[in-house]
Structure 1
């Protein structure tokens, strides 16, 4: 499918969570369970609270698809795109799966997700231009912090910790305890 045909396919099946790999494979994912939805809402709530004062770009939730340079279309659980990147897009591009890779992405593992698949997805984000990417695993209270140019993620154990947005999202602090 072309990008436009894929977008139309997704709109016709809006009750499904759909992504597309760089190899043009279509992935259909089940909705998350209620506890995962609660966690995702708390994650996005903290990001929104930071956004209100920062206003350095745009934030997006898990319903947002991005067309990446490798041709894939992925939907992170939370993300941020700088104002410069977002404002460079046309309104039509913004209305579809924007052809841009967020500088910051978060994937929140749900019970039905495979950790290996999510770890590979984090590397896909980095290969496509993400600068900071977090994989959060509530079952083990583990956060994997992926940074552009670093071969291995930093591992933060324990949800009593906070993660910072570093130089990508200055001033953002994610309280992991809220994701329990």
Structure 2
């Protein structure tokens, strides 16, 4: 039996959904997590299993605790959909936006899908995620103005660090990650992932 690799991508080349139509589609189908790539293709996201969900939350907690201490920005969960400048609508597993950029958005923009590229994104590969698809998603983030991104790959015991304009850096686990100038003072110690 072949394991279905999700997400499911629906070609929408014959249909152009406006931002408001996409927003209403998501509201009308709250049990179906959707994203949209820069070309307008709809992406049906798969739910994650227990290991991935736990890891995702643990990394998000570390980011949130750092932000609570520094008060430099706003942290977002994987349920937040960002309307990226390049036309995509994406939900990173965790994200952070610098405070002045967040507050520059109108109250309505902050209430809906924020039309902003986060300064920092984090993605965690689950067992059903194609690595090629995640690489493409991370590149889309960089092309949209994200300043730092981390892609965790438990299957390879690695993390990939993305920065604008340079090739990604691959590190084997265990390692310590720095938030660099984007998340000043944020350090994340990442152990080897337990075998699944």
Q: Please give the TM-score of this superposition, normalised by the length of structure 2.
A: 0.88
Per the TM alignment, residue 179 of structure 1 is displaced from its structure 2 partner at its CA by 5.5
Question: Any stretches of 5+ residues in structure 2 without a counterpart?
Answer: 1-16
Give the helix-richer structure, 1 or 2: 1
**For 1:13-67, what per-residue CA distance to the aligned partner results, in whole angstroms no more than 9, with x for missing partners?**
1112210011111100111111110111111111111111111110101000000
**Among 94, 97, 114, the residue aligned to 2:110:** 94
> Which of structures 1 and 2 has the bigger CA Rg?
2
- Structure 1 segments, 4+ long, off by >3 Å, are none
**For 1:133-165, what per-residue CA distance to the aligned partner results, in whole angstroms no more than 9, with x for missing partners?**
111101221000011121x1111101x211110
Q: CA RMSD in A?
A: 1.1
* Correspondence 1:1-180 to 2 at 5 A: 1-150=17-166, 152-158=167-173, 160-177=174-191, 180=194
Per the TM alignment, residue 178 of structure 1 is displaced from its structure 2 partner at its CA by 8.0
**For 1:81-105, what per-residue CA distance to the aligned partner results, in whole angstroms no more than 9, with x for missing partners?**
0111100101110111100000100
In structure 2, the CA distance between the partners of 1:170 and 1:179, relative to structure 1 (3 Å rule), is farther
Q: Please give the TM-score of this superposition, normalised by the length of structure 1.
A: 0.95
Question: Any stretches of 5+ residues in structure 1 without a counterpart?
Answer: none
**Is the contact made by 1:103 and 1:168 (CA closer than 8 Å) also made in structure 2?**
yes
Number of residue-to-residue matches in the alignment: 178
